[in-house]
């Protein structure tokens, strides 16, 4: 094992539960002189592990402990990192190293009653060719010489025009806590025949410059960030700007949602269920979407579905989306059971561009299936000579009933459920792989959406006899005006 030189700075201390109660974060300030070309950091702490202590780590530069000064976050995934102008450890932003006071941020995620001793070492190098040899990746050639903030990527336009595009809204690479590269992620997405994926690494945007060269006419990589707090997670898609994650209160989260909305971005609560981890800030916040389906259905997704249904019944119009939450390993050409697209989120969009896909999500033109193969749902409703699709509002004041049309592909032998504010309105056996039906829904039903459900004999031992879904759509909203 290589012997490391004496550090420029060494910080040591001990955290107790009282420190955690005061603040979730602790800052270590150090001066970076002009001419510094590389910064190396390594940290250790006692008692790490799922049932022990967990201390996370990140870095801000001399511009401040904010979006302008953000230089990276690795959470608890790494015990060392480096930052230089042209290269950095995944999770951290390469770029010029402005002189002044920098800050290491330590996140006190879990601190045992017995406390936790810790140590952080910092090395400053006047030449970028020097250093401790910590792992790095270089900026793509087209990005070199740019500032530490990556540029926006919209992806290459697709010629196929308006249609349903299939993708995945939560994925991770080695820029946070996965082992695979963005290239591995893109290779699996292509192998799964997905049209788009959102790359949502935890609390960082260092992956964004690497997405542009991986996108093409067959695959769109949407930059994103999973805002990962100690009390719940949320996705923001289409952003090249770091967003605040140091949220402890409902008001803290509301400020982040406001910032996302100011930049025209969508804010989506992730996996609000036991083991999700759950969302502890409450649901009376102005979020746009909810990850109702994360990974295989058996991962307690019926709990997220129930929370989403509760919001519908309260009059909220929250778009249901899915995400595999796949932490991509290195890909060697063999696909397994749990891959990208488990589940698949289908978006009706005008084109395969970031702007069009996210506009489709904002409109609620979305359904979710258990895999890229489907099942597929097409749901429309008609009243007063007007037609609406999933996510739309259908004015039906002068109508007596609403005619609902459903087409389901690839679900023979399963059940079609139509649900409204009053509960289950129709339950029909799907008798073929291209199944069509119509139904009459009263105008006071509030909304109607479709689900494809496995036969009850295949539900297994899900708690509360919860249904096992193969696909689910977003509602059409029935407006009596």
Q: State the average pLDDT over residues 120-138.
A: 96
Residue 176 has pLDDT above 70, yes or no: yes
Residue 157 has pLDDT above 80, yes or no: no
Q: Which pLDDT value is given to residue 141?
A: 66
Using pLDDT thresholds of 50, 70 and 90, give the confidence band for residue 173: very high
Using pLDDT thresholds of 50, 70 and 90, give the confidence band for residue 152: very low
CB 410 within 8 A of CB 383: no
Q: State the average pLDDT over residues 353-374.
A: 98
Q: State the average pLDDT over residues 188-199.
A: 99
Q: State the average pLDDT over residues 136-141.
A: 84
Q: State the average pLDDT over residues 19-25.
A: 98
Q: Which pLDDT value is given to residue 223?
A: 98
Residue 378: HSE in the Cβ half-sphere, 13 Å Cα cutoff: 14
Q: Which residue has the tokens 């087209």?
A: 142
Residue 144 has pLDDT above 60, yes or no: no
Q: State the average pLDDT over residues 219-244.
A: 98
CB 346 within 8 A of CB 165: yes
Of residues 260, 261, 278, the one with CA closest to residue 269: 278
Specify the pTM: 0.95
Q: How many CB atoms lie within 10 A of CB 421?
A: 16
Q: Which pLDDT value is given to residue 148?
A: 44
Residue 237: HSE in the Cβ half-sphere, 13 Å Cα cutoff: 33
CB 166 within 8 A of CB 345: yes
Higher pLDDT, 2 or 384: 384
Phi-psi region of 25 (alpha: psi -120 to 50; beta: other; left: phi over 0): beta
Q: How many CB atoms lie within 10 A of CB 158?
A: 21
Q: Which pLDDT value is given to residue 149?
A: 45
Q: Which pLDDT value is given to residue 461?
A: 78
| Residue-range domains of the chain with CATH | 9-143 (2.60.120.380), 150-374 (3.20.20.140), 375-481 (2.60.40.10)
CB 425 within 8 A of CB 439: yes
88-116 tens-digit pLDDT? 999 999 999 999 999 999 999 999 999 99
Q: Which pLDDT value is given to residue 464?
A: 75
- Burial of 100-139, coded b for 16+ CB within 10 Å and e otherwise, reads eebbbbbbbebbbeebbebebbbbbbeeeeebbebebbeb
Of residues 302, 318, 254, 252, the one with CA closest to residue 454: 302
Mean pLDDT computed over every residue of the chain: 95
Residue 450 has pLDDT above 50, yes or no: yes
Q: Which pLDDT value is given to residue 159?
A: 53
Residue 271 has pLDDT above 60, yes or no: yes
Using pLDDT thresholds of 50, 70 and 90, give the confidence band for residue 1: low
Q: State the average pLDDT over residues 138-159.
A: 54
Higher pLDDT, 464 or 411: 411
What share of the chain in percent tops pLDDT 90? Answer: 89
Q: Which pLDDT value is given to residue 233?
A: 99
Residue 407 has pLDDT above 50, yes or no: yes
Residue 5 has pLDDT above 50, yes or no: yes
Distance CA 349, CA 162 (A): 5
Distance CA 167, CA 378 (A): 17
Please state which of the ranges 2-11, 13-22, 182-191, 287-296 shows the lowest mean pLDDT: 2-11
Higher pLDDT, 157 or 374: 374
Using pLDDT thresholds of 50, 70 and 90, give the confidence band for residue 398: confident
Q: State the average pLDDT over residues 327-338.
A: 96
Q: State the average pLDDT over residues 207-227.
A: 96
């Amino acid at each position: 094992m290589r012997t490391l030189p004496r550090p420029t700075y060494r910080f040591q201390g001990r955290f107790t539960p009282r420190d955690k109660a005061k603040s979730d974060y602790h800052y270590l300030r150090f001066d970076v002189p002009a001419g510094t070309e590389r910064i190396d950091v390594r940290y250790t702490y006692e008692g790490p592990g799922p049932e022990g202590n967990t201390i996370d780590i990140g870095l801000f530069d001399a511009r401040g402990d904010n979006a302008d000064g953000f230089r990276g976050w690795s959470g608890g995934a790494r015990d060392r990192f480096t930052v230089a102008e042209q290269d950095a450890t995944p999770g951290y932003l390469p770029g010029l190293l402005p002189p002044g006071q920098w800050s290491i941020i330590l996140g006190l995620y879990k601190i045992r009653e017995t406390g936790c001793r810790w140590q952080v070492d910092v090395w400053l190098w006047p030449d970028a060719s020097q250093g401790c040899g910590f792992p790095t990746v270089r900026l793509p050639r087209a990005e070199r010489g740019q500032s530490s903030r990556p540029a926006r990527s919209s992806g290459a336009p697709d010629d196929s025009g308006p249609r349903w595009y299939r993708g995945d809204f939560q994925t991770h690479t080695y820029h946070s806590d996965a082992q695979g590269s963005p290239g591995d992620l893109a290779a699996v997405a292509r192998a799964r025949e997905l049209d788009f994926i959102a790359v949502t690494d935890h609390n960082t945007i260092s992956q964004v410059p690497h997405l542009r060269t991986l996108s093409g006419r067959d695959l769109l990589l949407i930059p994103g960030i999973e805002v990962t707090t100690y009390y719940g997670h949320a996705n923001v898609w289409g952003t090249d700007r770091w967003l605040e994650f140091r949220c402890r209160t409902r008001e803290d989260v509301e400020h982040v949602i406001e910032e996302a909305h100011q930049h025209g971005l969508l804010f989506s609560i992730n996996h609000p269920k036991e083991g999700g981890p759950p969302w502890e800030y409450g649901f009376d916040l102005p979020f746009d979407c909810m990850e109702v389906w994360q990974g295989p259905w058996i991962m307690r997704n019926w709990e997220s579905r129930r929370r989403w249904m509760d919001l519908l019944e309260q009059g909220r119009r929250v778009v249901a989306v899915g995400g595999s939450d796949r932490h991509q390993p290195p890909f060697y050409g063999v696909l397994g059971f749990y891959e990208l697209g488990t589940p698949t989120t289908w978006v009706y969009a005008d084109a395969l561009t970031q702007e069009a896909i996210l506009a489709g999500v904002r409109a609620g033109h979305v359904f979710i299936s258990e895999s890229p193969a489907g099942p597929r749902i097409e749901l429309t409703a008609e009243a007063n000579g007007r037609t609406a699709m999933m996510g739309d509002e259908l004015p039906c004041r002068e109508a007596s009933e609403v005619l609902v049309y459903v087409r389901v592909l690839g679900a023979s032998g399963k059940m079609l459920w139509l649900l409204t504010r009053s509960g289950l309105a129709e339950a029909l056996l799907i008798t073929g792989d291209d199944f069509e039906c119509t139904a009459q829904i009263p105008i006071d039903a509030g909304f109607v959406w479709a689900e494809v459900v496995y036969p009850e004999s295949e539900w297994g031992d899900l708690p509360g006899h919860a249904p096992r879904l193969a696909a689910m759509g977003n509602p059409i909203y029935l407006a009596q005006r």
